[in-house]
């Protein structure tokens, strides 16, 4: 392997810095084996580099694939999204942070809303008169405050809507990452 190929591999490795070392090494080994395979097919250096594309795009593609492989929502996936964001650049400057914040916040609020509605309803029905519940006005329109019983059902509906919006935001984020990572799948290696 010549100097240009080594330079390419180090550039990919540099763009994968947010990942753990073991994962970076595996990715670089995979790309290196693809380069060696193309060299054994007697492809010229320039054609190999054209086929591989920009090192930054290659790193983006691998990060995007890693994000889409992990299922569900978790800290690991959030860290992968952050690593991906650091490589994506300007297009991800707004999309990834916005969706990355909106998704968990909406899901959390979607879960919290029915809980608050149930607490307000329990306080009302059991006449507990808890001091902090007086400040919880689940639904208020101007000076009109919705009574606790209908407010409970509205809180369930609102919670479901908020949760679904959060899940949709998360799926949109994953879709965005998949689109950006399509570069790797499009390579003819």
Question: How far apart are the C-alpha atoms of 28 and 165, rounded to whole Å?
Answer: 38
Does this model's pTM top 0.85? My answer is no
Give pLDDT, residue 189. Answer: 37
Our count of domains for the chain comes to: 1
Rounded Cα gap, residues 148 and 155, in angstroms: 10
Q: Would you state the pLDDT for residue 67? A: 63
How many Å apart are CA 55 and CA 58, to the nearest integer? 5
Q: Which structural domain, as residue segments, surrounds residue 96?
A: 3-186
Q: What is the pLDDT of residues 77-121, one digit of tens each?
A: 666 666 665 656 656 677 888 898 999 999 999 999 999 999 989
CA distance 76 to 56: 22
Q: What is the 3-state secondary structure (H, E, C) of the chain?
A: CCHHHHHHHHHHHHHCCCCCHHHHHHHHHHHHHHHHHHHHCCCCHHHHHHHHCCHHHHHHHHHHHHHHHCCCCCHHHHHHHHHHHHHHCHHHHHHHHHHHHHHHHHHHHHHHHHHHHHHHHHHHHCCCCCHHHHHCCCCEECCEECCHHHHHHHHHHHHHHHHHHHHHHHHHHHHHHHHHHHHHHHCCC
pLDDT of residue 184: 45
């Amino acid at each position: 392997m010549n100097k240009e190929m080594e330079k390419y591999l180090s550039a990919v490795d540099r763009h994968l810095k947010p990942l753990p070392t073991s994962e970076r090494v595996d990715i670089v080994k995979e790309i290196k084996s693809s380069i060696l395979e193309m060299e054994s097919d007697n492809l010229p250096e320039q054609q190999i580099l054209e086929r591989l594309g920009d090192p930054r795009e290659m790193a983006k593609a691998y990060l995007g694939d890693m994000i889409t492989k992990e299922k569900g929502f978790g800290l690991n996936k959030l860290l992968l999204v952050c690593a991906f964001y650091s490589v994506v650049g300007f297009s991800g400057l707004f999309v990834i942070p916005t969706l990355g914040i909106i998704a968990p916040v909406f899901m959390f609020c979607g879960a919290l809303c029915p809980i608050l509605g149930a607490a307000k309803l329990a306080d009302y029905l059991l006449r507990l008169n808890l001091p902090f519940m007086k400040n919880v006005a689940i639904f208020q329109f101007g000076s009109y405050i919705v009574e606790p019983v209908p407010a409970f059902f509205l809180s369930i509906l609102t919670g479901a809507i908020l949760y679904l919006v959060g899940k949709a935001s998360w799926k949109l984020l994953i879709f965005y990452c998949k689109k950006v990572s399509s570069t790797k799948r499009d390579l003819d290696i």
